[in-house]
Chain A
Amino acid sequence: MKKSIKSLAVLIGICAFVAVIIALTNSITAPIIEANEAKKSNEALLEVLPEGGSFDLVDISEKQLPESVNEVYRAANGGYVVKLTVSGYAPGMVIVCGVNSDGTVSGSKLVSSGETPSIGGTAAEKFKSAVIGKTISDIDTVDTIASATKTTLGYRNAIKDALNTVVILGGGEVDLRSEEEILADNLSAALPAGEGKFTKYFFVEAIDGIDAIYTADNESGAVCVIGEDFIGADAEGNALTECSEEAAELVKTAITKVNSTIMSEIDLTAFEGLPSQLISAKLTESGNYVIDIKGAGYGITGGDEYHPASGEYILIRVSIGADGKILDCLTLSQAETKGIGDACANESFYGQFDGKTEESYNEIDAISGATLTTDGYKKAISRAFESVKILKGGN
């Protein structure tokens, strides 16, 4: 018993002795280690902002910054260094970006990523030099690098977020909402009864003066967009939002027209020579056609054959007025490459077709980096015009 107590005492004594030595050493080395690390991180910051001098961590807990921002350092010369985590080909791409006091990118660095070193890594290196000197207004003009689109797109988003952060920290305001969020906010403000769920109305009739109509999914009414204004209206078309009499009149006419539209399905088998891509066609009383048609995008090569890359057609709905102008155009479904060709599902792309005729539809801008998708889309529009001609001739 006495022996084991002695053993225990010795063991405890040795532990205490060792603990003291470690604590002593730690008290000497800890400040040095800390200084070393600070110096090292300062060097990393200097790499992206060479004229920064020294850096101070900025407290960003109270600020409304883009979600990707992790840390912000303010440099002695008025510039900033922003550390962000974004998604490239794989999630968790950490990027450090330096911004000069005049708002231009001074440099950036890919700190860590799950990217393929041979592809994404080299692309990031190239992209790094391309973004130097860019500002928030022209950062979008930097083209992504083919074969590493996702990596470079992620990189560009990071730089953009970094630039936005600097604007916000400088006291400026940046709308961090995405376009969809802005639209949703506007719609809800115009028609609270819609409970935030709206569907964009597909124009089958020419309605002058109205840019777009969003119908509430719960049938409580609709929102008409006239220029910058969002005007809510009840199901009968009576304006609920304050607006000019003129606008109220426009809305009333528009909603009445929407409510009274009658369409009849056309029997496609009665016609000969229609493109095989045509899925369905409808005719309104005023003589407008609504065409659903398949387009061959990147997913399908020239001969309309399935390509395993995405393996699906782009399904397009287009309404063509009696005067031969496109009233409205919409991408119903698509399976194009994410981040590139899938831009064909954005209104900024298909909205370009509005008002175009058979002669002028070809003028629209192609989606950058997705020529095949754009070409397929245009081909489908041309087939829609062709179909309308045949359908009219048959009548």
Chain B
Amino acid sequence: MLPPWTEIMQYIRKSPKRQTVEVLRAAAARGRPVVQPRCGVGGHGEMRTLLTTLEQRGRPDILTITIDSFTRLKQFRSAAQTLQRDPAGLNGYPLVTHGWRRGRELNELVDAPIEVRHGSPDPRELFAVALASGFTSFEGGGIDYNLPYSKDVPLARSLAAWAQVDRLCGVLAETGVIVDRELFGTLTAVLVPPSVSLAVCLLEARAASLAGVRCLSVAYPQGGEVHQDIAALRSIPVLARRYLPEHVEVFPVLHEFMGVFPRDPDVADALILYGGLTARLGGAAKVINKTNQEARGIPDAEANVAGIRTTALACTDLLDFVRVDEATVEEETYWLQREVAELVEPVLAAPDLSAAIVEAFTDGRLDIPFSASVHARSEVIPKRDSTGAIRYLGAGRLPFSRPTLRRNEQCLRVDRASLSGRLIDEIRSDINFFVQAETRSQAARLATRAAPTRSAVTGPGGAR
């Protein structure tokens, strides 16, 4: 049983802790992103230990409780059974099963505010328990927590469930409690074209702000080409001003590379540092760190501490000397914002936003690649160009203008006839982009050892 509404409100208002929204505001004002790890284990004692260890040794500004798959799918009985039998068999913390009292215990255990991260198409019970626990930061949305995670939940249903959460946030905002609602632009985490990520988040953000949400974090997944990633992050506040009501606060967030990660811990650490740097150059308010155990599965606390510290290091003034080619960023920005406009404006023009979103996905005018759900067509074919930037090889039924399509074609410069036989291999190697960087660096090291005089002349530049 949850405590009464007035008691929950009182608990949150009386909390001496800084709320997530305040941490984000301070980060945005400072111009340096704060760092947040992902973390969640089944047992309550283990979760306590994990949070304290990360806080004491990594000092992240925001902490996380990642929720297990059973709870995400509202299989609360399975979550309870597994918790009793084998808590280590859960891939996250079953908050609904543990209940709000234990939630509050976790909340009071650490200084950093806690965000609940999950992947649920219908999060209503989870949100209620999270709120009763005092957590005022909650990830997800009706599109982004449905299509990448569930096979057959109709979008109308997930959008309606999330609208209820967002309306509750609206009611809370009126009484002065601001819930940070983070949108998961990472989607399927595999070669997501930046304009797809931003378009989905903007539509969700618009729906959320109409429901009364005042604070939105828009998360964008690091693609790996720095100019494109910076353009995307810097576009978030611009697009928010264009498409969202003025009173809504929007914070850009970077998710460090979410695709296939290098196995070599040193190469993984380099990629993590690169992620933190990208976040800072792009003006993100927050960056979610990866760990050098990513290729192996769920990381231990040790690796997570290292990931937090490496990321935080990249956000200090250590790397302030780094400059990027601003003309390239500007060009990327122009085309990215144009693509986003072509995707979202027809949907925003409709009288019923939720119905328009459902219809656009049915028709393929909105689409995501590699969807797990049957409710997206996944006709979009992404491809990296020679710089590593993610382009549309096939735009499916997305309503792009001719110049947009031409620009993508020009960037890719592929001979489609000769590509068709190799298409799967090419896309696979695009997916394995950073694993291949790892392979190249290993090969280069071996070559140096074998022929030191020649490699000094050749250098690593020819690797591409």
Genuine A/B complex: no
Binding site for A on B (CB under 8 A): none
Binding site for B on A (CB under 8 A): none
